[in-house]
Amino acid sequence: MNPSLRLTRELIDQIVFGMENQDRDYVLDTLEATVIPADQAEPEELGDRYVDLPEWLSVDGYNLMEQFVATLHNPIYRSRLRSILASGRGVFRQFKDTVRERREIERLWFGFKEKAMRDLVTEWFNDLREREGLERLEAESTETETDQLVELDFVFRPADADELAAIAELDRGAFDEVFPDADEDTIGVYYQASRDGLPAIPDPASTVLVTETQGGDFAGFLWAVTRRSGEASIAYVVQLYTLPEFRGFGLAREALRRFCARAHELRLGEVHLSLAGSSLDLEAGFSGYGLSRHSVELALDVDRWHRSGNG
């Protein structure tokens, strides 16, 4: 092997193309740093100048799709893609068509696949170098647009006045969603208690930040209320919601980050985020983001308490 051969992004792309091509065999020309059809290589130099590419079979592609789905946080597309993988018919075509439906999912898939293939090629390449007594090398940086998925594909902006009524309705639905096991009347009491005394969403004391795709599709919103007393000012994030089809991209965290940055510009002292019901499961993630527990509300089911003999 040519000891000066380096793995560039272009060369990795050529190797991956050759690996995935099921119609023709390719080899790496280590002298020219390029991939060529195997039938164009000089037979007497195979294994020296020309090296076989890593084997890549259909089952490897299937396994890669399975690995991607296991990492996908979006519940809707994770379920759909799992069903496709289990169907056993036209899996590759169905998978490709489904991830293409949402540009965000497609970017995640391309980024996941690119990294996995890059890592595989780098490991294979370094194994070749080690067999030749050469030191292992790192591949060139191949950062993709997927690394900036949120910045590229989503917009965060103040809500327009004509959107506020619809957002107010969505707030109630979002609140209900985190109490899936409670009856409607009980949830109504929860909602009333949590909203009593707050200005309405259209009120000037409220701040509403909308998340949408570059194409203008509504993806979620943040609603905060600012309270002031003397020199103290605290922003309470009342609702932080992402539509199910857009979950798993980190949109809620980015909306919160942008709101916190705005709070700093406005010289607000603190930002508080309320969690309730199933959203309590998100506490660890937000704690890692920099938020810390401020208060705890405990609830007692009176009938269950009485039946357990405490009455």
**For the chain, which residues make up each domain, given as ranges?**
151-303
Q: How much is the average pLDDT of 205-222?
A: 93
Long-range contacts of 196-199 (CB under 8 A, 24+ apart): 198/225, 198/238, 199/225
136-177: per-residue pLDDT in tens?
876 555 444 434 667 778 999 999 999 999 999 999 999 999
Percent pLDDT > 70 in the chain is 95
pTM for this prediction: 0.63
DSSP string, 193-210: HHHTTPPPTTSTTEEEEE
Place of tokens 């308490």: 305
pLDDT of 75: 87
CA distances from 117 to 103, 123, 169, 229, 294 (A): 21, 10, 45, 57, 45
CATH top class, domain 151-303: alpha beta
Percent pLDDT > 90 in the chain is 53
Both structure tokens of 179: 């109490």
Q: How far apart are the first and last CA of the chain?
A: 82
Which segments of the chain are extended strands (E)?
26-29, 34-37, 50-52, 154-158, 206-213, 218-229, 232-242, 270-273
What is the Cα 141 distance to its own chain's centre? 21
pLDDT of 261: 92
Rounded to the nearest integer, the mean pLDDT of the chain is 88
pLDDT of 140: 53
pLDDT of 142: 47
